[in-house]
Structure 1
C-alpha cells in the first residue's frame, strides 16, 4: 500500500491545466466465495475540466497530518506525494493523474531499468540529483530517495521534456517492449489471468496462468469471461462473489502486472449519464516495490501521430487497501462504464 504525504498548507498542490486526459473513444456458480475486500473509506469526488472528467486525488490512504507534515527529514518534496509502504518510491501529485516527478532508491532505479532494458522497452530510468528522505510508513526506518529521470531511447529525449506517443495504447506498447518506438504491433499483446487446473492439466503441471488469444481490451475481456464460465454467469454473482472471483482470476482490483508489463481497462456496463465513455485505457508499469506499482501513462489528443511531454508517473496500491488500485481509480472517473474489466497485459 502507499501512503499519502501532504505538503504543508501554505503550498497547496497545483493542477496542470494542459494535462487533460483523453483516452481512446469511440450461470451463477456454487462456489464458496470469501470476500476479503476492505470497505471503501471515502467517497470519490470529481473535478470537471472542459469536456473531460478528472477524479481528485483520492484521500483513502493514510494522510500525514499538520502535526507531522513535510519537513527537512520528512519527505520534503513541497508537494503532495504518494509514498510506497516500504518508503522506496514516492510520486508527486500535481493532479489526480500524478506528475513528472518520482523518487526511488538508487538500487530500485537500477534494477527497474535493467528489467525494462531486458524487455526491449523504449524506456530507461536513471538517477538524478534531487533527493528526499523520510521514515518508511511500514516502520522499516529512514529512506533516502533520488530523483528518477526517464529517457525514451526511441525519441532520444529525457527528463521532464521527454516525449512519448500521445496515445495510451501506443505509449503503453512502447513501454512494454512491443512497439519498439513505433507504438504498433498491437497483435503481439496478450492479457493474462488465472484459471484453476482441471482434468489432465493437473497431472502434467500446466500453469494456471492463461494468456488470451485476443490482443485488444474488449475481446480480451470477452475471452476471459467465456473461459471462466461466461459473462451472464458472472453477472448473476453478488458483489462479494464477484470480488472473490476477481481475486482468483487476478483481474480488476487484483491485477498485478510486473515491470515491463501493464494494465488495460476495457469499458463495460451501462454508461454514466452525461459522461464521456472511452473504449479502453492502457498503462505500462515501470517500477514495483512491495504491493505498490508505478505506471508511466500518456493520453490521446486526437492527433494519431502526435508525441508530447504530457505523460505522468502514477502510483497505485494493492487490493488490500480500498480505492488504491488502478482498477478502482480509473473506474471512479466514470469514463469506462459501470462494469469495466481491468486485465494485466504483457508482450506475447
Structure 2
C-alpha cells in the first residue's frame, strides 16, 4: 500500500516531500533564531504532539541535529562536536562537492544540499563546489566502471544546470540561520585547477600521498577486484579532491567537508593533506548515510531512470508520482521523514 504523500512546490519550482499525517507551513518571515521541534506521531494517534527542542536565543548544535535525523554516518574528529557546541566560537565554513556528470542533480544529491542547509540554519556558512575540473575525470566511488568522458560543451551545460539548482535551494536558507552570516557561495574548482602545473603538483602535493593509503580506500579496492579494473586517471581522483579541500582550507577558510558515506576515502585524503602539508589542525570531515529504502536499495531510481531535481528533466507530475507511490514501510521507517523534512523531527511511538 502506497503512503499518502504529497509535494509542496517552492518558488524555484523544486520539490520537497511532506507526509499528510501533519502539515505545518513554515513561516515566510526571516528567522533570526530557530526553535526546532520534535513531532511525535503514531498510526493510532490522529493528533501528533509538538514539543520545543531548543530554547529561543540558543545556537543549535548542528552535529547533534544531523545525528538525531539519521544524517550523520561518520566524522573524522570528535572535536567537531565540541566546536559546534562552543557558543563563543565563530561560524564554520562547510563545503559539499557536486561533479557535473549530468545537467541536473538527482534525489540522492539532495541529501548533500539538505545537510548544507542545516549548517546554514545553525549559523554556519555553506559552500557548494562544482567540479568543473574533477568532473572531467569522474569519481570512481560506487561505480563499477569508468565514467564516459564529457565533451566541453556538455560539461559547461551541466555546470550551468547544477549551479541553478544549488542556487535556488540554498538561497532559501540564506537568511534563516541563528546568525546573520548564514550565507552561501558557489565555487568551481576549475578556477584554480587551470593554473596548476603537473610537475608542481607532483612535487608539492604528490610527495605527501602514500600509495598504500590510497590503495586501501574502499572505492579503489572494489574496482581493483572487478573485471574492469581502475585506470590511473580514476586512481588519482582522491588526490584531486583532497587538494580541493587543501585549497579551500588555505584560501577560503573552509574547515569542514561533507559528503555521502561513499566519500569517506576522498574526504580523509583532504584532511591528511592539510595536516601534512600545512601542518594545521581544525579540518574536519563529515559523512551522511545514503538515502535507502527499507529493503536496503537506494532511493532516487525509478523504472524510467533517475529522479532528477530539475523540472526540465523530470516533470513535476512524475516527481509527485514517485513519492506518492513510496511504500508506507519506507516512509514510516523514518528514512524519508527524518532526513527530508526540514522543520520537524518525526519519532515513532
**Class of the TM-score when normalised by the shorter of the 2 chains:** under 0.3
Q: TM-score, normalised by structure 2?
A: 0.25
Q: Which has the higher strand share?
A: 1
Q: TM-score, normalised by structure 1?
A: 0.25
- Ranked by relative contact order (alpha carbons within 8 Å, sequence separation 6 or more), the top structure is 2
